[in-house]
Structure 1
Amino acid sequence: MKNVAVLLAGGSGKRMGTSLPKQFLNIGDKPIIQHSIEAFENHPNIDEICIIINADYHKEINDLVTGNNYSKVRYVLSGGKERSDSSLAAIKAYEQEQNVYLIFHDAVRPFVSSRIISDVISALTAGKSVAVAIPTTDTIFCLNQNETIKSVPNRNLLRRAQTPQAFSYKTIKNAYDIAMSDSNFVATDDCGVVLKYLPKEAIHIVDGDESNIKITFEQDLLQGAQIVDKK
């Protein structure tokens, strides 16, 4: 089985309030997406990388890949309006091979560790579908529609989701095939699609890391810079 890292970078980054999508903003001396590419490029058990990017930014990604000789990057594909469109682009790209694991990762999580990637691959090779998550230290409120507290879940059973999320090709393809035939399908992350449409498919948790942050808002850039400084 081939291990394929799918870097999801199709977003416009509007919440960051910049003209460039956030994946092209620098942390340290590199664009955010370059940190992510290198995390998988440098991992010995990753065979290929597939990058899903906004159609307007293919040149920027191709220049980055070519200029740095990233040999594992096989595809640069266009995403769509929803995250599910990006996942579907990767699924379609590998429909002739299928003997692959697809490891979906937010390109704006630039500090995914080699340990996390290794643990995800180990779980995949053991026949598991995989999510990465960390314990929540905060109490979480579940609300009524009028925004009053309905319940307080046991936080020992709660996790904060990160990426990668990883599946065999057959599993993720089957889940999306069913989802696409559902007229009420609402776009969500890949674990949500598998959980809803393949409810018998157990999704196992791999421990994430507090440094595996998602760059969403301007203040996240400062936190990212602090992580780079500690390396």
Structure 2
Amino acid sequence: MQEYVIIVAGGSGSRMKSDIPKQFLAVNGTPVLMHTIRAFAAYSPNLRIIVVLPSEQFGFWEDLCKKHSFAIPHQLVAGGETRFHSVKNGLNCIVEEEEFLLAVHDGVRPVISREIIADSFQTAALHGAAVVSVPLKDSIRIVGQNEGNKAMDRTLFRLIQTPQTFRSSWMRAAFAADYHQSFTDCASVLEAWGYHIRLIDGAYENIKITTPEDLRWAEIYLKATS
């Protein structure tokens, strides 16, 4: 089956305390989003890459591509009001009639390995879904009402990452529905429509860059592995 990835990059720089959206901040001299796209392009030259950005950021991104001589083929699609709508816009731009596999990945997760990407597509081809996750390292407590809290068994929980990869028929069926506030990622959308979510192993270094500390960590890691 043909493989696609929708890279969703609609974040702001608020928690970074930056006027520049975090997907455009430089890591070792190169915008975060370019590192992410390169990781997927390195997985397979046949992978079709769709990048979802707010339409008002198209010009800025195109200028960055010229500045950095960034020529990896990708299709730009305008984002929507929520992540659900942004993924739906990306999905709707694919005119493939045959069944295909579709991964959805955060634009600000640049430290993603070829092995995890490959496992994601292979598992989705076999089982229909593959969602990357890692076990919790720390103890956790659930906070209830009246300032109460209770220890929980951390082995019962997983931290969810991306990519999240699915058969196209599953995606098209689930994303034909109306948006609901409980849809925090693609897995929650498909689960709401009865599809089984299969978890696969991720990696702790596959962080979502959200804070200045994340950015510094990514710089160190990418420099060490380049």
Aligned pairs, number: 223
Letter paired with 2:188:
G
CA distance in 1, matches of 2:70, 2:102: 24
Q: In the alignment, what sits opposite 1:70?
A: 72
Tell whether the 8 Å contact from 2:5 to 2:103 is kept in structure 1 after alignment.
Answer: yes
Q: In the alignment, what sits opposite 2:92?
A: 92
Matches for 1:173-212 after TM superposition, within 5 Å: 173-178=172-177, 180=178, 185-196=181-192, 198-199=193-194, 201-212=195-206
CA distance in 1, matches of 2:64, 2:43: 19
Tell whether the 8 Å contact from 1:33 to 1:107 is kept in structure 2 after alignment.
Answer: yes
Report whether the alignment pairs 1:228 with 2:214. no
CA distance in 2, matches of 1:46, 1:205: 25
Shift in Å at residue 68 of structure 1?
Answer: 2.2
CA distance in 2, matches of 1:46, 1:124: 17
Q: Secondary structure at the match of 2:3?
A: strand
Shift in Å at residue 173 of structure 1?
Answer: 1.7
Shift in Å at residue 51 of structure 1?
Answer: 0.2
What TM-score, normalized by structure 2, do the two folds share? Answer: 0.91
Please list every run of 5 or more consecutive structure 2 residues that lacks an aligned counterpart in the other structure: none
**CA, structure 1 residues 4+147, in 2 after alignment: closer, same or farther (shift >3 Å)?**
farther
* Percentage of pairs with the same residue: 29
Matches for 1:78-227 after TM superposition, within 5 Å: 78-95=78-95, 97=97, 99-149=99-149, 151-178=150-177, 180=178, 185-196=181-192, 198-199=193-194, 201-227=195-221
Shift in Å at residue 106 of structure 1?
Answer: 0.2
Q: Secondary structure at the match of 2:176?
A: helix
Q: In the alignment, what sits opposite 1:32?
A: 32
- Which of 221-230 and 109-118 deviates more? 221-230
Deviations, residues 89-124 of structure 1 (Å, cap 9, x unaligned): 112112553522110000000010001101101101
CA distance in 1, matches of 2:46, 2:140: 36
Q: In the alignment, what sits opposite 1:50?
A: 50
What TM-score, normalized by structure 1, do the two folds share? Answer: 0.89
Tell whether the 8 Å contact from 2:6 to 2:103 is kept in structure 1 after alignment.
Answer: yes
Tell whether the 8 Å contact from 1:3 to 1:45 is kept in structure 2 after alignment.
Answer: no
**CA, structure 1 residues 62+152, in 2 after alignment: closer, same or farther (shift >3 Å)?**
same
Q: What is the alpha-carbon root mean square deviation over aligned residues? A: 1.9
Shift in Å at residue 45 of structure 1?
Answer: 6.6
CA distance in 1, matches of 2:72, 2:63: 11
CA distance in 2, matches of 1:165, 1:22: 21
Tell whether the 8 Å contact from 2:182 to 2:188 is kept in structure 1 after alignment.
Answer: no
Letter paired with 1:69:
A
